[in-house]
Amino acid sequence: MRIAVNTRFLLKGKLEGIGWFTNEILKRVVQKHPEHEFIFFFDRPYDQQFIFARNVTPIVLSPPARHPFLWYIWFEWSIRRALTRYKADLFISTDGFLSLSTKIPTLLVVHDLAFEHYPQHLPFKFRYYLQKYTPKFVQKAKHIVTVSTYSKQDLIDTYQVQEDKISIVYNGANELYRPLGYEEKKAVKETYSGGCEYFVFAGALHPRKNIVNLLKAFALFKKKQRTDMKILIIGRFAWNSDEIKETIENHPFKSDVVHLDYMQVEELSKVIGAAYGITFVSLYEGFGIPVLEAIKCHVPGIVSNVTSIPEVAGNTCLYVNPTDVADIAEKMRIFYKDEHLRGQLVLACQEQAQKYDWEKSAFTFYDVLQEKML
């Protein structure tokens, strides 16, 4: 079987949600199934680390697809012609996009529908494209994979997709996310927080991540609680991030707010593993990988009570209304003060961590591929 794959999010040193899913799932599937030939379609020069085995043929297709107009050109012209030229039997696309003009059956991965629920958080041209074409992509796909029970139901409710057309393949976390020992934690804290305990947020910084409310809540927490606790905000500034920048710059406890740019997994896993707690009060998530990464490190925290987050976090965290700053601040106070409660949450992480694993997910993904596509 000749299987073509959209691998445009496999970017060296820049893997985020879709990129990690593509990397971890395809690496395992490719290596365990040498009987298939895989053609990886990149939209720019690729790194050899993403050519996972000898049964992978990398192809670079122009133009680099990082803009709605170029998305259309890449999928409707470059991908369509390449699928025919390389005689692909099927196409896997892990970023929610596909070619509407090809006759090659497509397995489509849709991670979330945030653009339908919070369209105001995206620039107009991106929002317009996603809202116009995603319903068509979902209809065109032979089968759909999504990453949580919540996201499956969201697809059903929003686009009236038949339930049996959607399969769930959970995200996992890199094996570097693991519990740290006392000395390891101490060294990380000395490096990043002056030796102090800290809350941590990790992810791209844009309005849906609700960083402004998180920082307002941290200020309220600091006013009510005498503590040297800090908060580390880790991630690149994405679209519509001016208010986040201003909030960090003008924070009343600015010396206790540490912003760090995008961090490679080798270091990020240590920073999350040494945290006192994760604070992830996003307004909407299709999965919420940073929450799972913290759980894998046995680091509980304070998270939103909406969308997929309770599904991923289970009983490892305290839940908040993400729009209620006072609620977030109060849960921070309880989490900080009640060591017994925090200890129980740490124990719960050990059990919850076992539910999500890239090996299991890759096995499930190939089962879906075999049952629905081959």
pLDDT of the residue at 66: 87
What is each CA distance from 82 to 9, 35, 106, 198, 282, in whole angstroms?
Answer: 18, 22, 14, 49, 38
Tokens 């096995």, residue located: 363
pTM of the shown model: 0.95
The order of strands in the sheet holding 301-304 is 257-260, 230-234, 198-202, 277-280, 301-304, 317-320
Judge whether 48 lies within some domain. yes
Same-domain pairing of 148 and 220 = no
Judge whether 177 lies within some domain. no
> How many domains is the chain built from?
2
pLDDT of the residue at 103: 96
What is each CA distance from 302 to 147, 196, 331, 341, in whole angstroms?
Answer: 22, 19, 7, 12
Judge whether 348 lies within some domain. yes
Judge whether 94 lies within some domain. yes
Same-domain pairing of 107 and 255 = no
Same-domain pairing of 10 and 103 = yes
Percent of the chain at pLDDT exceeding 90 = 97
Model pLDDT for residues 57-86, shown as the tens digit of each residue: 999 999 999 899 999 999 999 999 999 999
pLDDT of the residue at 197: 98
Same-domain pairing of 320 and 195 = yes
Judge whether 315 lies within some domain. yes
Same-domain pairing of 257 and 307 = yes
| CATH at 84 | 3.40.50.2000
* Tokens describing residue 342: 């925090």
Judge whether 108 lies within some domain. yes
Same-domain pairing of 211 and 281 = yes
> Residue 374 — very low, low, confident or very high, per pLDDT cuts 50/70/90?
confident
Same-domain pairing of 346 and 209 = yes
The order of strands in the sheet holding 90-93 is 56-60, 37-42, 2-6, 90-93, 106-109, 143-146, 166-168
Same-domain pairing of 188 and 85 = no
pLDDT of the residue at 114: 97
Same-domain pairing of 281 and 343 = yes
DSSP secondary structure letter of residue 196: -
Same-domain pairing of 87 and 148 = yes
Judge whether 73 lies within some domain. yes
pLDDT of the residue at 176: 97
Model pLDDT for residues 170-179, shown as the tens digit of each residue: 999 999 999 9
- 78, with CB counted inside 10 A (0-12, 13-18, 19+), is buried
Judge whether 43 lies within some domain. yes
Model pLDDT for residues 225-282, shown as the tens digit of each residue: 999 999 999 999 998 899 999 999 999 999 999 999 989 999 999 999 999 999 999 9
> What angle (nearest 5°) sits at the alpha carbon of residue 337, between those of residues 336 and 342?
65
Considering only CA atoms, which of 305, 304, 318 is closest in space to residue 276? 318
Range of the domain at 164: 2-172+357-373
Question: How many helical (H) and strand (E) elements, i.e. helices and strands, does the chain have?
Answer: 15, 13
Same-domain pairing of 137 and 188 = no
> What angle (nearest 5°) sits at the alpha carbon of residue 320, between those of residues 150 and 110?
25
Same-domain pairing of 8 and 156 = yes
Taking the C-alpha atoms of residue 216 and residue 336, their distance in angstroms, rounded to an integer, is 17
Contact 109, 93 (CB under 8 A): yes
